[in-house]
Amino acid sequence: MRSALLAAARSPQARSFVERTPLTKPVVSRYVAGDTLEEAVRVTGDLLADGRKVTLDHLGEDTTELAQATATVHAYERLLAELGRTGLASGAEVSVKLSAVGQSLPRDGEKLALDNARRICEAASAVGTTVTLDMEDHTTTDSTLGILADLRVDFPWVGAVLQAYLHRTEQDCRDLSGAGSRVRLCKGAYKEPESVAYQGKDEVDLSYVRCLKVLMNGQGYPMVASHDPRLVRIAAQVVAAAGRTADSYEHQMLYGVRPDAQREIAANGTTMRVYVPYGDQWYGYFMRRLAERPANVTFFLRSLLTT
Ligand code: FAD
């Protein structure tokens, strides 16, 4: 089921079918703040008022048009200006997929993505907040980490995402565990071959814990991105063993997933940052969320049949 949904996440035919089904929208709204900037800012304000922090994702990925990449940069610039104007930038940063700003364009894609990401970093810097580069499938990992290194020369606060399911990630954690390095550790959301990624849940979880230990024992700022209650508990043990203070790391979860756990972690004095996607390009993001939890599919299908 997971493989089929992740394959469908990249299929134009499946996309057109799911997007044209009007009843999909109520299910999508569990995971997506809304289509517009205004809705994203309203949800951000509500979360900050509730004691959580936010990272905002303007939805879009695998951009094949230069104009689309430029439009995405403008969307982030407008978003960041609005966060500054409304005083929300102190608690809200942005997450950026490099494939949305040109990384996958055939000619000079990587350079274009670097230039575009730089513009987003400048807009973030102007309002006093930060940027984290999301991580996409394994074919982009080297390119994304290369762009991260370039950006960090001028913007040392740019964050990275590392995916515990990749065999390479423990070493990447070592490389990115220095002072000032912000690393979001997640399990990984894409369909990856055995040659590069652990396939079983137990193997991925064990890798997650090994990576977490490396990051927590380093000098950087780890961001523990998981809803898995067992990994959240283990994170607390690893934090204690590493002698870390509550302000030297944070937890992150996705908008719409385990909100009670989010509130509980925030109430216990650790930063809880919620990943809030918005925009009308929700298809790929939504399909990856369905793939993470089989019960979501039943819920989705039932709502299509009974509404
Ligand atoms: P799981 O074992 O998948 O889930 C544990 C429990 O959490 C489940 O039993 C269920 O109760 C709940 N849960 C998990 N997912 C869902 C869901 N979709 N709907 C409902 N309940 C759910 N992946 C990337 O590849 N690149 C990224 O840049 C990236 N950024 C992320 C940013 C944040 C803040 C988070 C939280 C995740 C991100 N991910 C990213 C996704 C991540 O890789 C996993 O696919 C996702 O978090 C599910 O893994 P899990 O650790 O929550 O554990």
Report whether 129 contacts 92 (CB < 8 A).
yes
Report whether 141 contacts 166 (CB < 8 A).
yes
Helices of type H across 127-251: 141-154, 169-175, 201-216, 229-242
Beta bridge partners of 25: none
Report whether 249 contacts 276 (CB < 8 A).
no
Q: Kindly tell me if the per-residue pLDDT of 17 is higher than 80.
A: no
Which tokens in the block code for residue 139?
């074919």
Residue of 134, 137, 172, 205 marked active site: 134
Atom of ligand 1 nearest to the CA of 134: 28
Give the chain's domains with CATH numbers.
32-281 (3.20.20.220)
What pLDDT, in 10s, does the model give residues 132-188? Answer: 999 999 999 999 999 999 999 999 999 999 999 999 999 999 999 999 999 999 999
Give the residue, out of 223, 257, 289, with the most ligand 1 atoms within 8 A of its beta carbon, to mutate for a pocket test.
257
What pLDDT, in 10s, does the model give residues 237-286? Answer: 999 999 999 999 999 999 999 999 999 999 999 999 999 999 988 888 98
Q: Kindly tell me if the per-residue pLDDT of 197 is higher than 90.
A: yes
pTM of the model: 0.94
For the segment 215-231, the average pLDDT, to the nearest whole number, is: 98
Nearest to 79 by CA among 96, 62, 103, 99: 96
* Distance in Å, CA 97 to ligand 1 centroid: 16
* Distance in Å, CA 135 to ligand 1 centroid: 13
Q: What count of residues does the chain have?
A: 307
pLDDT tier at 307 (50, 70, 90 boundaries)?
A: very low
Spell out the SS3 assignment of 97-124. Answer: CHHHHCCCCCCCHHHHHHHHHHHHHHHH
Q: Kindly tell me if the per-residue pLDDT of 14 is higher than 70.
A: yes
pLDDT at 123: 98
